[in-house]
Structure 1
Amino acid sequence: MKKFAFMLLLMLFVLILPEHGQAAAGNNQIFLDGKELTAGQEVPVENVNSSIMVPLRMIAENLGYKVGWNQTSKTVTIEQQGKTVKLIVDQTTASVDDKTVILTNAPLNRSGTTLVPIRFISEQFGLTVSWDNTQKIVNLITPETGGNNTGSDSGASDGGTSVDVPPAETTNNLTMVNGISFNENRLTIAMEGNAVPKVSKVSGPDRIVVDLPNATFSDLFGTGQVLDPNLNGSLSVTDYPDVSGVRYSLYSTDPYTVRFVIDLKTPKNYSVDISGDTSKLVVIDLNAVSTGDTATQPGNSGRKLIVLDAGHGAKDSGAIGVTKKYEKNFNLAVVLKAAELLKKESNIDVVLTRSDDTFLELKDRAAMANNLHADLFISVHANSSASPAATGSETYYQRASSKALASVMHKYLVQATGLSDRGVRYGNFHVIRETTMPAVLLEVGYLSNKGDESLLFSEALQNRVAAGIVSGIKEYLGLK
């Protein structure tokens, strides 16, 4: 009897209790310029960690934005008049055009509806936003109408507690960090903008901290380096006795600051070199003398300075082979092998434009060589053709002062590959046109040719090409 009475009471409780989601939805309203938005608001506004979360699609579409949804990647894309915003459910990072921004809370998926922080709506759609905590009302005011928050249409009443959402720092004028690399005991940061790095040495443990104020990561950075959902990552560093690794993060959003940390095994001095105009390269050089923060720049000791450039990188795969192998990987493999051989030469210094799968703009590659006052610039590539029969090696120069270098380098290239000799050719490529020293671009073979591709990705050929590059450099410079 007691069990029956309990079940009856439970049934009555279920029947008279309103469904949670519907009851919650009835307790909050969203107004745009004084007009209540109702279509599409099946999911209630939520308060998550003191951040008011509102339905994104409903608001964006009422503002005239086109909204798309990718179920596989859980990505929301919002587009209007050339502006593109991308958000991923459960990730605190968002993409606004080519800029990365941080949300106060990650977007949530509630019954097929994406909720985002009300502050994000304010920042990205240019709205004045307020939250009436007593009445549970969101008020959105577009700058064109300059609407008002008074009167019965808004749903506000005297005595209600209205909380304005302060605008965050704008991201329009932020410096964009595009990529990093670490080689020859130097950290190189590629960026677009006017941020001035603040660099300091810290002990316990020993490390060098580089802060870029008024900066954030661009979308390009994420294609070349690992970034977790909170915009943290690290760069693996091996074979350098002074450095155990490099860490980076969007350290702050108030103000926006990107931080790089070079973790040291022993205390080190450093120098800082900044080159370029809008597109800049920041080099933190650990090859410093024992006292002070000055560095012995490569080539300053009487040795010749060679810049080796592995073409393409990260999102830019270059040519794709018959069996889907990427040119960028071949280029890097050869350059790393050549660099190791050049390091054994007592009268040569070598600098790499990239030592890992990093994306660098062509102008950044040329600027690096120019600013270092390099003696030679060698760019390594693999070719492709619409004709699968195309095969062979060729070498390009752009300026007359580079032709002699091209002839020497090509001789050793053909010997190393054993492929058809396609000759020394003129080519108007950016990296050999904009560099100020003798510069050549090597097209080792054709990835579109099955035989060439197989050969190019063999360890034996890569070793021969690397050795040929060294032999060509030494002959041209008259070094034994």
Structure 2
Amino acid sequence: MKKFAFMLLLLLFVVVLPGQGHAAGGSNKIFLDGKELTAGLDVPVENVNNSIMVPLRMIAENLGYQVNWDQKSKTVTIEQQGKTIKLIVDQTAASVDDKTVVLTTAPLLRSDTTLVPIRFIGEQFGLKVNWDNTTKVVNLITPEIPDSTSNTGESSGDGGTSVAVPPVDTTANLTMVNGISFSENRLTIAMDGNSQPVVSKVTGPDRIVIDLPNATFSDVFGTGQVLSPDLNGSLAVTDYPDVSGVRYSLYSTNPYTVRFVIDLNYAKNYSVNVSGDVSKLVVVDLNAASTNDPATLPGNNGRKLVVLDAGHGAKDSGAVGVTGKYEKNFNLAVVLKAAALLKQENKVDVVLTRSDDTFLELKERAGMANNLKADLFISVHANSGSSSAASGSETYYQRAASKALANVMHKYLVQATGLSDRGVRYGNFHVIRETTMPAVLLEVGYLSNKGDEALLFSEDLQNKVAAGMVAGIKEYLKL
């Protein structure tokens, strides 16, 4: 462990960046366990907003690390023995093994060399770090037994002040927040971990605050939602008169807390439900008459509840068409159109597993439908084959109880697309296997076929498929 920490630390001080550094005067030195690291420093150690910043620079070519520098995004990615670290210049958000951590001060460039706070070094590589402000010397110590009494502050007094950073992994056992969506007056949060949401109503102005303690954003979250460098963002909400928008942030790092705020146009009650084991869904439902009144939840109001699932999303593009179009975008477009039509039906409620470019695990999709006790589950996909000649529409079911629904939905699907009828088929897909209500998976056409792809991404075809889905739902439910 000591050797591994040493090599990782050397790498952090020696990452190759484009361009030539400019020599800086001064007596900056870096010692590891009393031994000076012999590579010279191109830029001095700096004190930035009371954070001691140390340079990343070249030192050894044969350490065997995989290091990448992305000039466009100014990102350094370091991979070694399963550990992955990403640092971005001018951003306080860093990534360690897909966990978002917040640095005391953002990395910065000096003469084409990146500087990072020594606190980050200590926390991520199990080292104590001492900074002597008089001699401008960094001492790195690899203790056999962590010293729990070390001072974690970063003081920069005028004298020879020392700074000690204990080896603390502040991201251990954190819940990872993977995505959010808002539909049917419900905020859905997807996460991995055991965080228990703390929800409260606040007035002046009216809003609902959801705190997830011991949680942070995962790398997956940033692929589906806007997340600023300081880990703030918002989700636009339209067509829901109760809500003006949803905001989110990494609210605190001591302790780590992710906060969501539903901004209301007027006071509203809500209910909260958490489902799943490790991968969980938190649903904050604004349709509740009161926090303790289950009568207004879906399935308890005499209306049928249909869950529509747009396959794939965010980092999972699904199939890629012959001209580069993504399946995830087709799936979502059709589902949004079908949902808009279903909202016009006075005997049906509709819930979407995702209403934007969000990533959800398969078990989260099935779990949402099961938790809501939905009447039907319909998953929308586009196919891909090894042969570019493959074309047509097909519908899959897994359980005998779903076959009748598959037959009805397929009839309308083939009418809508006008493509070859590839039949109703058995398929052992997770979302139609693990759901407890009749469930089908629609493969509308083949993105690997140039003709099918062009058709699938036409507005006219998408409208027809959405209308066909609604017609099939109504026939099956006898509405």
Structure 1 residues 136 and 34: alpha-carbon distance in aligned structure 2, compared to 1, 3 A threshold: same
CA distances 1:137-168 after superposition (whole Å, capped 9, x unpaired): 21111245989xxxxxxxxxxx9432223556
Q: Residues 23-422 of structure 1: matches in 2 within 5 Å? A: 23-24=25-26, 26=27, 28-57=28-57, 66-144=66-144, 160-166=160-166, 170-289=170-289, 291-292=290-291, 294=293, 296-422=296-422
Query: Is the 2:123–2:166 contact (alpha carbons within 8 Å) kept by the matching residues of 1?
Result: no
Q: Which runs of 4+ in 1 moved over 6 A?
A: 59-64
CA distances 1:48-94 after superposition (whole Å, capped 9, x unpaired): 11100012346999998554322232111222211010101111111
Q: Secondary structure at the match of 1:23?
A: coil
Q: Give the letter for the 2:399 counterpart.
A: R
How far does residue 318 in structure 1 lie from its aligned partner after superposition? 1.1
Quote the Cα distance in structure 2 between the aligned partners of 1:393 and 1:144: 63
Q: Give the letter for the 1:204 counterpart.
A: G
CA distances 1:154-210 after superposition (whole Å, capped 9, x unpaired): xxxxx9432223556620210000000000000000000010111111111111111
Q: Secondary structure at the match of 1:124?
A: helix
CA distances 1:317-359 after superposition (whole Å, capped 9, x unpaired): 1111222221111111111111111112222111100111111
Task: Determine which of 13, 22, 25 is the counterpart of 2:24.
Answer: 22
Q: Report what 1:433 is aligned to.
A: 433
Q: Report what 2:11 is aligned to.
A: none
Quote the Cα distance in structure 1 between the aligned partners of 2:204 and 2:169: 33
Quote the Cα distance in structure 2 between the aligned partners of 1:60 and 1:434: 52
Quote the Cα distance in structure 2 between the aligned partners of 1:265 and 1:63: 58
Query: Is the 1:269–1:293 contact (alpha carbons within 8 Å) kept by the matching residues of 2?
Result: no
Q: Secondary structure at the match of 1:162?
A: coil
Quote the Cα distance in structure 2 between the aligned partners of 1:470 and 1:247: 33
How far does residue 112 in structure 1 lie from its aligned partner after superposition? 2.2
Q: Give the letter for the 1:205 counterpart.
A: P
Quote the Cα distance in structure 1 between the aligned partners of 2:251 and 2:176: 14
Query: Is the 1:61–1:67 contact (alpha carbons within 8 Å) kept by the matching residues of 2?
Result: no
Query: Is the 1:21–1:44 contact (alpha carbons within 8 Å) kept by the matching residues of 2?
Result: no
Query: Is the 1:126–1:142 contact (alpha carbons within 8 Å) kept by the matching residues of 2?
Result: yes
Q: TM-score, normalised by structure 2?
A: 0.89
Q: Secondary structure at the match of 1:454?
A: helix
Query: Is the 2:127–2:165 contact (alpha carbons within 8 Å) kept by the matching residues of 1?
Result: no
Gaps of 5+ in 1: 1-19, 148-158
The number of residues matched between the two structures is: 446
Structure 1 residues 41 and 67: alpha-carbon distance in aligned structure 2, compared to 1, 3 A threshold: farther
How far does residue 385 in structure 1 lie from its aligned partner after superposition? 1.4
How far does residue 434 in structure 1 lie from its aligned partner after superposition? 1.0
Q: Secondary structure at the match of 2:356?
A: coil
Structure 1 residues 32 and 458: alpha-carbon distance in aligned structure 2, compared to 1, 3 A threshold: same
Query: Is the 1:270–1:294 contact (alpha carbons within 8 Å) kept by the matching residues of 2?
Result: no
Quote the Cα distance in structure 1 between the aligned partners of 2:123 and 2:63: 14
Q: Give the letter for the 1:226 counterpart.
A: V
Structure 1 residues 146 and 433: alpha-carbon distance in aligned structure 2, compared to 1, 3 A threshold: closer
Query: Is the 1:247–1:260 contact (alpha carbons within 8 Å) kept by the matching residues of 2?
Result: yes
CA distances 1:428-453 after superposition (whole Å, capped 9, x unpaired): 11111111111100001111112111
CA distances 1:110-137 after superposition (whole Å, capped 9, x unpaired): 2222110000000111111111223322
How far does residue 475 in structure 1 lie from its aligned partner after superposition? 1.4
Q: Secondary structure at the match of 2:407?
A: helix
Quote the Cα distance in structure 2 between the aligned partners of 1:234 and 1:385: 38
Query: Is the 1:130–1:138 contact (alpha carbons within 8 Å) kept by the matching residues of 2?
Result: yes
Quote the Cα distance in structure 2 between the aligned partners of 1:212 and 1:40: 45
Query: Is the 2:126–2:167 contact (alpha carbons within 8 Å) kept by the matching residues of 1?
Result: no
How far does residue 109 in structure 1 lie from its aligned partner after superposition? 1.4
Q: Give the letter for the 2:250 counterpart.
A: L
Structure 1 residues 145 and 36: alpha-carbon distance in aligned structure 2, compared to 1, 3 A threshold: farther
Query: Is the 1:33–1:145 contact (alpha carbons within 8 Å) kept by the matching residues of 2?
Result: no
Q: Report what 1:4 is aligned to.
A: none
Quote the Cα distance in structure 2 between the aligned partners of 1:183 and 1:281: 14
Structure 1 residues 161 and 363: alpha-carbon distance in aligned structure 2, compared to 1, 3 A threshold: same
Query: Is the 2:190–2:360 contact (alpha carbons within 8 Å) kept by the matching residues of 1?
Result: yes
CA distances 1:283-330 after superposition (whole Å, capped 9, x unpaired): 0110021x5554521111111111000011111111112222211111
Q: Secondary structure at the match of 2:163?
A: strand
Q: Residues 463-474 of structure 1: matches in 2 within 5 Å? A: 463-474=463-474
Q: Secondary structure at the match of 1:241?
A: coil
Query: Is the 1:169–1:254 contact (alpha carbons within 8 Å) kept by the matching residues of 2?
Result: no
Quote the Cα distance in structure 1 between the aligned partners of 2:392 and 2:23: 68
Q: Residues 452-463 of structure 1: matches in 2 within 5 Å? A: 452-463=452-463
How far does residue 415 in structure 1 lie from its aligned partner after superposition? 0.8
Q: Report what 2:450 is aligned to.
A: 450
Structural RMSD (CA): 2.1
Q: Which stretch has the larger CA shift, 165-174 or 348-357?
A: 165-174
Structure 1 residues 59 and 116: alpha-carbon distance in aligned structure 2, compared to 1, 3 A threshold: farther
How far does residue 379 in structure 1 lie from its aligned partner after superposition? 0.2
Quote the Cα distance in structure 1 between the aligned partners of 2:447 and 2:398: 24
Query: Is the 2:126–2:168 contact (alpha carbons within 8 Å) kept by the matching residues of 1?
Result: no
Structure 1 residues 65 and 77: alpha-carbon distance in aligned structure 2, compared to 1, 3 A threshold: same
Q: Give the letter for the 1:465 counterpart.
A: V
Quote the Cα distance in structure 2 between the aligned partners of 1:41 and 1:62: 20
Q: Percent of counterpart pairs with the same letter?
A: 82
Q: Report what 1:9 is aligned to.
A: none
Q: Give the letter for the 2:376 counterpart.
A: L
Quote the Cα distance in structure 1 between the aligned partners of 2:267 and 2:60: 52
Q: Which has the larger radius of gyration?
A: 1
Query: Is the 1:129–1:141 contact (alpha carbons within 8 Å) kept by the matching residues of 2?
Result: yes
